[in-house]
Amino acid sequence: MSKVILKFKEAVLKEIPLDKESVTIGRNPGNDIHIDNLAVSSFHAKLINQRGQFFIQDLSSTNGTFVNGRRISESVLNNNDDIIIGKHSLIFVSPQTQEEDKTETLKIKKPAMGETIIIDPKKHKAMIEEARAAGQAGIGEKLGGFTIIEGHTDKREYELSGRLVTIGKSDTSLIKLKGFFAPKVAALINRTKTGYFISPSESSKKLKVNGNAIEGRYELKDGDIVDVANIKMQFYIKE
Amino acid sequence: MKFIAAGKTDKGVSRQNNEDNFCVDEGLGLFIVVDGMGGAAAGEIASRMAVETIRNQVKLSAAGHEPFYGNYDKKFSEASNRIASGMRLANKAIYEASQSNVAWRGMGTTVAAALLDGAKMSIAHAGDSRIYLVRANSIVQLTEDHSIVSEQIKRGLLTKEEAESSEIRNIITRALGNAPSVEVDLDEIDIMAGDIFVLCSDGLTTMVADDVILSTVAAHDEPEKACVALVDIANKNGGKDNITVVLAYLSGEKTFSKKFKNLFGWHRRE
């Protein structure tokens, strides 16, 4: 489990395990980490755990919160980061693997409507590397496609390489429907870094995936059978 | 393809300044929404610099007067490369300005930009300003936010719904002006008659759900009125941030039902 080590000058005062999704720091005794010093605001800062990724947020304190010497309003925390609050410092320590944190269920609280903040590019790089090491690389980089099982289309096989694929009778459509009654646009498929999402259009009220009617956006999974505008097709992910 | 377009920006309910900006250049077929950040007036300066630099660079490079700035990506059309070039140049200009003035240090801006080019719409972005496409009464988000929560969704750690209420959804991972160089995400969309492109800042998307954006733009024939309606909804829902929206309605084919509706409206007026 991640923790912070509270220090005053060189003396270690105590270690605090970060076992909650939010840990508050301040001079007020109601804080999780109570620091009784005039340089510290009553409610000075807050440590936030979001799915194993830790952040510190300054709560508009008088003297500010510093991470590795830089004043921040909000910052991602990496192992061994030095947080300074008044005359005290907190060393953030995170274990090498974050497996245990991932299993924690997280109740999301109301969003803080802070200003938009850009993350330090170095920290961002470190986060990406950490994620890669933990085996959490993007899952949507693989190429998907459709095999037509039934119905009138111009081809039997379609690779979905573009950002947006239209199914319908219009010229813009990749999966081109034939027949007088075919809708101009039957469905749209959006390729994102997360995966492929299909949304039915107004003219094709009945879009079914594996026999279930779909309204709005649906994330396609390998092997899904899609029924739309009198065609039946199977979605696949290329290995 | 012909189109009608409009844009609107509003400082919202809670903020003192408006750091957003936008551009609708009908001659170039260029649409931009930017959301600046940085203390004092720096956010406004960064966002304005971005709009002016990108517009100018697209204009000059379209006329063949200006070389492309940065690498020409052969995977994409010349139009797409023009926007990317403008964004890289804007990044450099903002970064250099921020280095030369202490009050401007750390300023930056998001960008969502679209350029109409024949049968394609080129889209480019950096940060959490978004581009949506409304087609056949369905809405699709064409950009993926460069933000911490968006990356967590990608890694399967958060759902889209959880991300919307996250405390840290305001932390972005990419912007113009924060580093000497910037990576620009490009894409091209084959357009269709009747398509509606929506460009907006996070002040809209954090206050107004995607399906409300869809129903609002679909309910209006005139982009000006739809822009006003969207800003009103965002303000009614809290207006916690600056709100900016640009809408481009590509001309549609007249359908029977539309003709009938007009006829019906005419009779009612009599």
Chain-chain contact of B165 with A111 (C-beta, under 8 angstroms): yes
Picking from A105-119, A210-224, B91-105, which range would have the lowest pLDDT averaged per residue? Answer: A105-119
Which residue in A has a C-alpha nearest to residue B141's C-alpha?
A: A190
Contacts of A58 in chain B (CB under 8 A): none
**ipTM field:** 0.80
Which residue in B has a C-alpha nearest to residue A118's C-alpha?
A: B172
Average pLDDT over residues A37-47: 92
Task: Establish if A203 touches chain B: CB-CB under 8 angstroms.
Answer: yes
Contacts of B200 in chain A (CB under 8 A): none
pLDDT at A137 over 60: no
pLDDT at A112 over 60: no
Question: How far away is chain A from the Cα of B248, in angstroms, using its nearest Cα?
Answer: 18
* Helix-, strand-, coil-residue percentages of chain B, each rounded to 5: 35, 25, 35
Interhelix angle for B210-219 vs B223-236, to 10°? 140
Q: In the sheet that B108-117 helps form, which strands lie side by side, from edge to edge?
A: B20-25, B30-37, B108-117, B120-126, B185-190
Average pLDDT over residues B200-227: 95
Q: Which of A58, A118, A177, A219 to mutate to test the interface with B (most CBs of B within 10 A)?
A: A118
pLDDT category at A180 given cuts 50, 70, 90 is confident
Task: Establish if A140 touches chain B: CB-CB under 8 angstroms.
Answer: yes
Question: How far away is chain B from the Cα of A139, in angstroms, using its nearest Cα?
Answer: 7
Distance CA B142, CA B140 (A): 6
Which residue in A has a C-alpha nearest to residue B188's C-alpha?
A: A163
Chain-chain contact of A118 with B173 (C-beta, under 8 angstroms): yes
Contacts of A197 in chain B (CB under 8 A): 140
Average pLDDT over residues B119-148: 95
pLDDT recorded at residue B233: 97
pLDDT at A53 over 90: no
pLDDT category at A42 given cuts 50, 70, 90 is very high
Average pLDDT over residues B44-52: 96
pLDDT recorded at residue B190: 94
pLDDT recorded at residue A99: 41
What mean pLDDT, rounded, does chain A reach? 83
Contact B13, B235 (CB under 8 A): yes
| 3-state secondary structure labels for all residues of B52-70 | HHHHHHHHHHHCCCCCCCC
Question: How far away is chain A from the Cα of B113, in angstroms, using its nearest Cα?
Answer: 16
Question: How far away is chain A from the Cα of B35, in angstroms, using its nearest Cα?
Answer: 9
**Of residues B147 and A141, which shows the higher confidence score?**
B147
Cβ contacts from A onto B, under 8 A: 143
Restricting to A residues 25-64, those with a Cβ less than 8 Å away from any Cβ of B are 48, 50-53, 55, 57
pLDDT category at B232 given cuts 50, 70, 90 is very high
What mean pLDDT, rounded, does chain B reach? 89
pLDDT recorded at residue B40: 66
| Number of residues that make up chain B | 270
pLDDT category at A45 given cuts 50, 70, 90 is very high
The residue whose two tokens read 């931009």 is B32
Burial B207-228 (b: 16+ CB within 10 A, else e): bbebebbbebbeebeebeebbb
Picking from A5-19, A140-154, A179-193, A203-217, which range would have the lowest pLDDT averaged per residue? Answer: A203-217
Chain-chain contact of A190 with B175 (C-beta, under 8 angstroms): no
pLDDT recorded at residue A101: 40
pLDDT in tens, B65-92: 777 888 888 999 999 999 999 999 999 9
Distance CA B36, CA B41 (A): 10
